[in-house]
Amino acid sequence: MSLSFCGNNISSYNIYDGVLQNPCFVDALNLVPHVFLLFITFPILFIGWGSQSSKVQIHHNTWLHFPGHNLRWILTFALLFVHVCEIAEGIVSDSRRESRHLHLFMPAVMGFVATTTSIVYYHNIETSNFPKLLLALFLYWVMAFITKTIKLVKYWQSGWGVSDLRFCITGIMVILNGLLMAVEINVIRVRRYVFFMNPQKVKPPEDLQDLGVRFLQPFVNLLSKATYWWMNTLIISAHKKPIDLKAIGKLPIAMRAVTNYVLADYPNRTPSIWLAMYRAFGRPILLSSTFRYLADLLGFAGPLCISGIVQTHAFTSETLSSKEFLENSYVLAVLLFLALILQRTFLQASYYVTIETGINLRGALLAMIYNKILRLSTSNLSMGEMTLGQINNLVAIETNQLMWFLFLCPNLWAMPVQIIMGVILLYNLLGSSALVGAAVIVLLAPIQYFIATKLAEAQKSTLDYSTERLKKTNEILKGIKLLKLYAWEHIFCKSVEETRMKELSSLKTFALYTSLSIFMNAAIPIAAVLATFVTHAYASGNNLKPAEAFASLSLFHILVTPLFLLSTVVRFAVKVTNGYFSWGSGLATLSNIDIRIPTGQLTMVVGQVGCGKSSLLLAILGEMQTLEGKVHWNLSSDDHPCIILVFCFSFPFSSRNRYSVAYAAQKPWLLNATVEENITFGSPFNKQRYKAVTDACSLQPDIDLLPFGDQTEIGERGINLSGGQRQRICVARALYQNTNIVLLDDPFSALDIHLSDHLMQEGILKFLQDDKRTLVLVTHKLQYLTHADWIIAMKDGTVLREGTLKDIQTKDVELYEHWKTLMNRQDQELEKVIRKTLRRAMYSREAKAQLEDEDEEEEEEEDEDDNMSTVMRLRTKMPWRTCWRYLTSGGFFLLFLMIFSKLLKHSVIVAIDYWLATWTSEYSINNTGKADQTYYVAGFSILCGAGIFLCLVTSLTVEWMGLTAAKNLHHNLLNKIILGPIRFFDTTPLGLILNRFSADTNIIDQHIPPTLESLTRSTLLCLSAIGMISYATPVFLVALVPLGVAFYFIQKYFRVASKDLQELDDTTQLPLLCHFSETAEGLTTIRAFRHETRFKQRMLELTDTNNIAYLFLSAANRWLEVRTVRSSHDFEMEAQQKGGLVQRGSQGKGALSVLFFFCVCEEDWPRANICCQSSSLFSLEEDCH
């Protein structure tokens, strides 16, 4: 064993100059710390002291981090990397010796095992909160520091310097061990566990004290953050049980909408989205940019390693210099593997930080928008200045666009660095001929920028037409019953289709420039490579070597990626400048108003239609702008207000005094909630009061007819409720509230005479006046004037008469006689209706039986409205039928043309690379003259020209097919919905329907075509890579089997979890959109009841629920990326090593296989885009069905 350890040479055991002068003994001495750590820690880990000693009982205890936690992990990873380099150096050095010298690499192997054990040991001790056991680690780092220092001094005395790799590695390890020793000393100092003192008590973070928080990314250790290991439990459990809102829990406090709104809000300043982003999210944007810089720099390791792997070098010395070490093909393969792993880790970290920041920004923006809506004038909505479609666009599209702009932001400052570094490396590889290719890229960059600006203009124009289309669609949906009554559906559908054609005309421009952008991204590297290699072939006088050709080819691919992203970033940057609200002012609506409303009495406001009765109530509520005068709310001794109005009013909304008011609008407004929740409206449930209110409003018989009584959900349009039923629920809401003042705006307008009389007698005269509440009643029912304590007669926006009925009878006889005539007519109508009330019970029984039959039919239907009740979500396979429906919606001819052109294009691309491999291999073997290069240059030029042409054809075909499919799908969707039964509109919230025409249609119009192009490109590239790698390196087929098995299980678990999370994201977004539309429609009622805070809180809850679903979906995508990329890198290194990396005599084909491996690994951006846009298929599925 000793001979194997030190070698067969007897001089290896010479100790005449001192024991420390013997390299074998020094290496053996370095084994002592590692053996010590393994001997101490293994029993503790197996016994499980940590898990039994935990003093923290919580659902997840990795939140407990000792001081220097992240620094320790970073230093440990660095130390492991240095150990790998030391092992590689020892193995390569040992391979040059005649006998085996285990001491060259065995201590490094033990060091790698000990360092890995140290971090595992630390993790268990840390999560168990038992820091006393960390003394073993402290002793280990001290011993390792001492032994490595002895080794470094020995090398220094032997005359070694920084040019010797072994000396450099030892010096770095001394520094790392010293830093880790300092980290342990700091833990001792802060946690005070030395001399077995009691450690400091720690409390879990505030988020984890609430067991509802399940998103653990901010609280786990660094390794789990980088690999998303904590997501394993959720991903695996999803295969057994569907993921629901309980499984994903709540958002951490720092990510909640209210937290980010406070950070982003700048009170008393002109609103600026850029200032808010800088103030609230500057640090995470900087962190994401740092990760992105590191990832981009590591990306250049691929071309450098490809160049080194292809070249062959011969070495004779027994010791390695740093340069010789980095020229070894096997070492470069390992370094390439590690570099790509780190690059993807940093890239995924950058993606996660930007997406998390974007979600935080979206939450803050939604809160700001909602606050604006709560302050919006009702005139803006009633006069069409702001529509529900615009609000829906703002919430569903614009905020997401800004979130994606933030996601793309790091590319703005990463692109220059990538381009400069790429040009420098190209120049080092090919000399001045590389500048020709770089010049092609630089000259074509302004075209990319021009295309990006045109894309932004086309998108803005499309958004304008989309807003107009949504406005018309909203009008149709609101008046759908009237349209069906007159059979006008097709007439109004034609109007929407005309606007849609204008939108499609703008979309054609958008699709054209999108296809040009995709074409430029694919064609620029081909053109640059063609110009560079042709120039190199005829101008440089040197043959093109495989190392130069394929390394430069990969560099050109890296250089073009920033230019492709430039179009996306510019498009989003121009788009975010177009969001403004405005409030107009009009002429005076009410004038010369000087009235007093008595306390605790019934005041009736009467007058002809349009005379200003409703405006008077809006003025009292503060919904109109006060041009002159004031509104006084005087409190009497019994705390009942008397309202005194002396003013001139006009719209829009101004500030209001906050007093206890209940209000029932003329147009009934209902929440998307149960009947009970609509009546109580946030107030505590009082059974006795609730029953008295429902009886007073004659609601109990109607409630009995509903499928689930007062627990039946009624949407914003109501579920099978007549106008009178909706009106009475709104009046019951006003009566139920324990307020001082009640304002009723024509509550009898939609009621039958007998119901009006019952409501007047039981609800107003008995229920309200018995409580001595101040009541203002706007009505056309003049027969009730005899019950009024005070009457206000309106005409043309002014007060005609004011006083008691007796006062008006005395002062204005003509007006009184006119009222008397109208009252007699209304009394006669009442007598006619009384006879019909006897049949009410019979009608009720029949209606109830009919409703029960309809409910039984509904239960048998496959498609129930999931927003109206909790429905068990079907967990099906990938919606291939929906994909096929989308593809065929564009026409079979375009589908065939797309598939054929895609296959032909990728065949030509593979042929280009194969031709280049043959070209470089031929000249590396034969070293033929320059004149013979004409054949290869001509063939290469023809293939490149064909590739460029096919890139244009495929990009145009995909966009053309997507545009045709979007046109047909919208036409079918509009007709299916407009021609649907009335019950569909009664049971489906307006916000849900509008979402189909806004967010989902936007996805079909603009997102699915480029996603389809990325998907097909990535798929064909992977298939091409498998074919070419298998041809160049057949042994790869052996590694392909476990690779396929790994990918199968990864996608099997991910697909189920991803679909659940996507459905959660979709289903949680719909209540949010409905809440915005509900609020916009019921602004007056919400503000009258002073419930802005409650509705705002509800909005924040819905926003957080939607954000947590999207955050988990993003984390799941990152989980997938980390595992698929690392699996491919593992087998890439294995296949290269088993295949001998580069076969002698066929360097071009070997380089081609390495290049394809690198290109597949570089396909991260399309794959990330597809993962983040994967919900597109489910939006499409909703529209298709």
The average pLDDT across 975-994 equals: 78
Q: Output the 3-class SS for 260-298.
A: HHHHHCCCCCCCCHHHHHHHHHHHHHHHHHHHHHHHHHH
Average pLDDT over residues 571-588: 40
Q: 1015 or 727: whose pLDDT is higher?
A: 727
What is the rounded average pLDDT of the residues 990-999?
A: 75
Residue 648 has pLDDT above 60, yes or no: no
Which strand (E) or helix (H) includes residue 1156? Answer: helix 1147-1162
899, pLDDT greater than 70: yes
Question: Is the domain of 610 the same as that of 536?
Answer: no
The tens digit of pLDDT for each residue in 187-220 reads 888 776 655 556 566 777 777 776 678 888 888 8
Domain total of the chain: 3
The residue range of the domain holding 258 is: 226-579+908-1184
User: Is 252 within the bounds of a domain?
Assistant: yes
Give the tokens for residue 21. 């002068």
pLDDT reported for residue 115: 93
* 506 has pLDDT over 70: yes
Using CA atoms, how far residue 532 sits from 21, 186, 559, 610, 905, in Å, is 55, 56, 14, 78, 22
The CA-atom distances, in angstroms, between 824 and each of 526, 781, 829 are 90, 11, 9
Is there a single domain that holds both residue 486 and residue 443?
yes
Q: Which of 542-551, 838-847, 1120-1129 has the highest mean pLDDT?
A: 542-551
Polymer length in residues for the chain: 1185
How much is the pLDDT for 636? 47
Query: Exposure of 57 by Cβ count < 10 A (0-12 exposed, 13-18 middle, 19+ buried)?
Result: exposed
Are residues 687 and 759 both part of a single domain?
Answer: yes
Whether 1029 maps to a domain, the answer reads: yes
Range 544-566 average pLDDT: 72
Mean pLDDT of the chain: 76
Q: Is residue 294 part of a domain?
A: yes
Confidence of residue 589 (pLDDT cuts 50, 70, 90): low
Query: 3-state SS of 468-534?
Result: HHHHHHHHHHHCHHHHHHHCCHHHHHHHHHHHHHHHHHHHHHHHHHHHHHHHHHHHHHHHHHHHHHH
Q: Does residue 615 surpass a pLDDT of 90?
A: no
The tokens for 814 are 């003509």
* Residues forming a β-bridge with 301: none
Q: How far is residue 288's CA from residue 348's CA, in Å, rounded to a whole number?
A: 10
User: Quick one: 785 and 735 in the same domain?
Assistant: yes
Q: 760-818 pLDDT, tens per residue?
A: 888 888 888 777 788 899 988 888 888 888 888 888 888 888 888 888 888 887 888 88
* Per-residue pLDDT at 161: 77
Domain CATH number, residue 749 = 3.40.50.300
My answer on whether 181 and 97 are in the same domain is yes
The arrangement of strands across the sheet holding 641-650 comes to 590-597, 641-650, 625-635
Percent of the chain with pLDDT over 70: 74
What is the distance, to the nearest Å, from the Cα of residue 282 to the centroid of all Cα atoms in its chain? 19
pLDDT for the residue numbered 659? 58
Residues 558 and 601 in one domain: no
In a shared domain, residues 632 and 737:
yes
Query: Which of 82-96, 855-869, 1057-1071 is predicted most confidently?
Result: 1057-1071
pLDDT for the residue 57: 40
Reduced 3-state DSSP string for 953-1012: HHHHHHHHHHHHHHHHHHHHHHHHHHCCCHHHHHHCCHHHHHHHHHHHHHHHHHHHHHHH
Residue 633, H or E segment: strand 625-635
Task: Give 1145's pLDDT tier (boundaries 50, 70, 90).
Answer: very low
Contact 467, 390 (CB under 8 A): yes
pLDDT: is 1159 or 241 the higher one?
241
List of residues 6+ apart from 894 with CB closer than 8 A: 957, 960, 961, 964
What DSSP designation does 249 have?
B
Residue 656 confidence (pLDDT): 37
Residue 321 has pLDDT above 90, yes or no: no
The pLDDT of residue 633: 62
Share of the chain above pLDDT 90, in %: 8
Amino acid at position 160, single letter = W
pTM of the model: 0.77
Most confident of 749-758, 884-893, 957-966: 957-966
In a domain, 834, yes or no: no
Tell me the range of 134-143, 462-471, 819-828 where mean pLDDT is highest. 134-143
Q: Which of 763, 796, 829 is the last residue of a domain?
A: 796
Q: What value does the mean pLDDT take over residues 118-140?
A: 85
Residue 212 in domain: no
- In tens, the pLDDT along 342-399 reads 888 888 888 899 888 888 888 888 998 898 888 887 766 666 666 776 777 778 777 7
Residue 837 lies in a domain: no
Q: What is the mean pLDDT of residues 129-151?
A: 87
The widest CA-to-CA distance across the chain, in whole angstroms, is 135
Give me the residue label for tokens 């003394």: 135
Tell me, yes or no, whether 753 lies in a domain: yes
What is the dihedral angle through the alpha carbons of 426, 430, 436, 437, rounded to the nearest 10 degrees? Answer: -50
pLDDT at 72 over 90: yes
Q: What is the C-alpha separation between 1108 and 322, in angstroms, rounded?
A: 49
- Answer yes or no: is 902 within a domain: no
Question: Is 44 in contact with 130 (CB distance < 8 Å)?
Answer: no
Does position 833 have pLDDT exceeding 60, yes or no?
no
- Same domain? 261 vs 159: no
Same structural domain, 1059 and 1105:
yes
pLDDT band for position 1121 (50/70/90)?
A: confident
Decide if pLDDT at 641 tops 50: no
Quick one: pLDDT at residue 567?
A: 56
On the question of pLDDT at 167 being above 80, the answer is: yes
| Token pair recorded at residue 899 | 């598939």
If one compares 33 and 796, the residue with the highest pLDDT of the two is 33
- Report whether pLDDT(661) > 70: yes
pLDDT at 588: 57
Out of 154, 172, 204, a domain closes at: 204
Q: Among the listed ranges 392-406, 552-566, 693-707, 942-956, which one has the minimum average pLDDT value?
A: 552-566
Check whether residue 598 and residue 547 sit in a common domain. Answer: no
Classify residue 319 as exposed, middle or buried by CB count within 10 Å of its CB (0-12, 13-18, 19+).
middle
Residue 1126 has pLDDT above 70, yes or no: no
Residue 192 and residue 108 share a domain:
yes
Q: What number is the average pLDDT over the span 614-621?
A: 82
Instruction: For residue range 433-449, list pLDDT tens digits in order.
Output: 888 888 888 788 788 77
Q: What is the pLDDT of residue 86?
A: 87
pLDDT-based confidence at residue 926 (cuts at 50, 70, 90): low
Residues 1035 and 1129 in one domain: yes
316 has a pLDDT exceeding 60:
no
Q: 770, exposed or middle or buried, with CB in 10 Å at 0-12, 13-18, 19+?
A: exposed
Burial class (CB in 10 A: 0-12, 13-18, 19+), 1108: buried
Domain with 284 in it: what CATH number? 1.20.1560.10
Q: Give yes or no for residue 569 having a pLDDT over 90.
A: no
Among residues 204, 236, 252, which one ends one of the domains? 204
Q: Is 661 helix (H, G, I), strand (E, B) or coil?
A: strand
